[in-house]
Structure 1
Amino acid sequence: MYGLDDLATRTLNHLSGHSPIMDGFMILLSEVGIPLMVALVVAQWWVRTSREHTRHVLVSSGLTFLLGLALNQVILLFVHRMRPYDAGLTHLLVAPNPDYSFPSDHATASFAIAAAFLVHRFYRRGLAFLIVAFLIAFSRVYIGIHYLTDVIGGATTGLLAAYLVRKFYREGNWLDQRLTRIG
């Protein structure tokens, strides 16, 4: 498995360094993709159609985002994977990161947002967020900061978080009524 992961990571990372425009885009996407997604979620708070339901989905998205990152912290207690550039596998386009590599917080956060919208049947928005999530995950391997399985693991954590929030955070409960009426 590690050999295949190394090969896939090296192949994707070796796409970098040939086009300054593509390198710049991937670096930018890696740096601002998550904040942009969060801003787009927050901006929907003031929509006029299906306001309470939309706000429930937005709160669920935020909870999914936080739960996914919390799950990553638990995983990091047990998994201490070295970054691919530390292993001499990739060349790095950004400053090194001192944290462990698995799972990717960027992949977790972006897939958590997309999955939260999809499990609530907001398919158009969810699909748009999913496309961005795939691009962000790809950018993390492209710029040399993660192995391919790091972003797959992060995406899985984000999807699991969306499932858990959907299962346990119910629309219309006491907390949901209080939160969706803010602002």
Structure 2
Amino acid sequence: MSLESLNLDLFSILNVPEQASPLMMHFATFVAHDLVYLLITCFALFWFYGHQNSKVLILKAFVFCCVALSISEVASYLFNTPRPFVMHVGQTLIAHEATGSFPSNHMTIFSSIAFAYYFSARRDIGRFLLAVAWLVAWSRIYVGVHFPVDMFGAFILSWAVNLAGLKLWHRYQTKLMCWVMFLYEKLFSALIQRGLIK
């Protein structure tokens, strides 16, 4: 069996069935489209109200996510693989532009953040976020905007970026954190002094 055949077969298994329940479709749509905004909100709250160690890990996740996402965008442009709805394959539950499908940006975001925590002292959080990343992967296939191969590609990309950049992070994290905290304390000094944020 070729990779293309396996990809299509997996998609047909994971994509929304014709007799899917409205509850399952709403859940998948929320995970596929809106969960990323909830993640961003949680990280913003953890940054503003968390301790120094939390801020360091959030900065690490942000840096690795930006690097992986930049590579993902370039790869998506270069490969320009069609999405399922462009090929008239399966059903689609959410609207999406006909941009390149491989690799998935959503999976890149969630996986790179998850690996940033996994390759740290908070591996427990990393494991949880990896599970969330694969939930997002399922949902993006379920709603019909990605193929399974897009998810595996994003997962491998995120893993490789985190692994490759780990030594650089350990070398420069202190300097980078000092610079970021200097800017943060300058911009939000009034709120910090009033104790509204940390």
Query: How many residues are matched?
Result: 180
Say which structure, 1 or 2, has more relative contact order (CA 8 Å, 6+ apart).
1
How do 1:55-134 residues align onto structure 2 when only pairs under 5 Å count?
Answer: 55-134=55-134
> Which of 11, 25, 35 lines up with 1:9 in the alignment?
11
Which runs of no fewer than 5 residues in structure 1 stay unpaired?
Answer: none
Q: Which residue pairs with 1:21 in the alignment?
A: 23
* Cα 1:4/1:43, change in 2 over 3 Å: same
**The 10-residue stretch of structure 1 (78-87 or 123-132) with the greater mean CA deviation from structure 2:** 123-132
Does 2:161 match 1:158? no
Task: Say which one has the larger Rg.
Answer: 2
RMSD: 1.8
| Structure 2 unmatched runs, 5+ | 186-198
The 8 Å contact of residues 103 and 151 in structure 2, kept in 1 or not, is answered as yes
> Normalising by the residue count of structure 1, what TM-score does the alignment of the two structures yield?
0.89
Corresponding residue to 2:37 among 31, 35, 38:
35
SS at match of 1:83: coil
Aligned partner of 1:83: which letter?
Answer: R
- 1:175 equivalent to 2:176? Answer yes
After TM superposition, the structure 1 stretch with the greater mean CA deviation from structure 2, 32-41 or 135-144, is 32-41
Decide which moves more: 77-86 or 18-27: 77-86
In structure 2, relative to structure 1, the CA distance for the partners of 1:161 and 1:42 (3 Å cut) is farther
Percent identical across equivalent pairs? 22
Distance (Å, rounded) in 2 between the aligned partners of 1:172 and 1:87: 44
2:50 counterpart residue number: 47
Q: Distance in 2 between matches of 1:140 and 1:172?
A: 33
Normalising by the residue count of structure 2, what TM-score does the alignment of the two structures yield? 0.83
8 Å CA contact retained: 1:97, 1:145:
no
1:125-150 Cα distance to aligned partner (Å, 9 max, x none): 22222221111111000001000000
Q: How much does 1:44 deviate? A: 1.9
Contact 2:96 2:145 in 1 (8 A): yes
Displacement after TM superposition at 1:172 (Å): 4.8
